[in-house]
Chains A and B, each alone.
Chain A
């Protein structure tokens, strides 16, 4: 499978626990994006990387959220001390440099905080 891969697909966690999601972009895609989608809403931008550099973070990304892309390949999104409001689908997308609109999305990680 050469698409964007996200793991796990589903995660149920207790409030206050830490969780980490992983995104493997399409090979050679140097841009990687994270979005969050709550039920009945469109995805909201969280952050993006060009290679290993994190170029922009949304104000939605509170101090409890951290994203990394250490070697410019896969990325991780960690949420510390989860809250019920963090329950959402977390989507990852990747694209080649300069290719506007040609962003390929993964199937997402659905987080449920109980």
Chain B
């Protein structure tokens, strides 16, 4: 069965601090996809990043970066120089490959508070 765990319920930082959100997943599939989504107070889930199970290369995209480690089943997400507008709930998600793509298994979310 697929499962995503986000142990951090809520994190508070001061603007310009770096913050890392943790994600651990479980799956028996060899091919899968991992994602981070952001949910601001308006409620709409916003796609941030995607990684497939064959690509462990870590990248940086603007102020976002991620650390995918298959050996520990972790997919952590870092925001550099946080801003007040980053305040939201962040969800890590796992998707099957094949026919059921975009059938997401979400973690319980981490609420990020960025204070000025």
Residues of chain A at the chain B interface (Cβ within 8 Å): 3, 31, 33, 35, 40-45, 48, 55-56, 89, 91, 93, 95, 98, 100-108, 110
The residue that B103 contacts in the complex, of A3, A56, A108, A110, with Cβ under 8 A, is A56
What is the CB-to-nearest-CB distance from B109 to chain A, in angstroms, rounded to a whole number?
Answer: 5
Chain B residues in 8 Å Cβ range of A108? 43-44
How far, in whole Å, are A101 and B107 apart by their CA atoms in the complex? Answer: 16
How far, in whole Å, are A1 and B71 apart by their CA atoms in the complex? Answer: 43
How far, in whole Å, are A75 and B33 apart by their CA atoms in the complex? Answer: 26
Contacts beyond the supplied A33-B102, A35-B104, A40-B108: 4 A-B pairs with Cβ under 8 Å: A31-B102, A102-B102, A103-B47, A110-B43
What is the CB-to-nearest-CB distance from B83 to chain A, in angstroms, rounded to a whole number?
Answer: 23
B47 touches A45 (CB 8 A): no
A48 touches B103 (CB 8 A): yes
B42 at interface, CB cutoff 8 A: yes
B35 at interface, CB cutoff 8 A: yes
Number of interface residues of B (CB under 8 A): 26
What is the CB-to-nearest-CB distance from B2 to chain A, in angstroms, rounded to a whole number?
Answer: 10
Given A33-B103, A40-B108, A95-B102, A89 contacting B50 (CB threshold 8 A): no
Q: List 22 A-B contacts (CB under 8 A).
A: A33-B102, A40-B108, A40-B109, A42-B4, A42-B91, A43-B91, A43-B104, A43-B106, A44-B106, A45-B105, A93-B102, A98-B101, A100-B52, A100-B101, A100-B102, A101-B47, A101-B95, A102-B47, A102-B102, A104-B47, A105-B46, A107-B44
Given A100-B95, A100-B97, A106 contacting B47 (CB threshold 8 A): no
Chain A residues in 8 Å Cβ range of B45? 43, 91, 93, 105
Given A43-B104, A93-B102, A101 contacting B35 (CB threshold 8 A): yes
Nearest residue, chain A, Cβ from B35: A101
What is the CB-to-nearest-CB distance from A44 to chain B, in angstroms, rounded to a whole number?
Answer: 7
How far, in whole Å, are A101 and B101 apart by their CA atoms in the complex? Answer: 8
How far, in whole Å, are A71 and B16 apart by their CA atoms in the complex? Answer: 49
Given A44-B106, A100-B33, A107 contacting B101 (CB threshold 8 A): no
Render B81-104 as a binary contact track against A, CB cut-off 8 A, 1 for contact: 000000000010101010111111
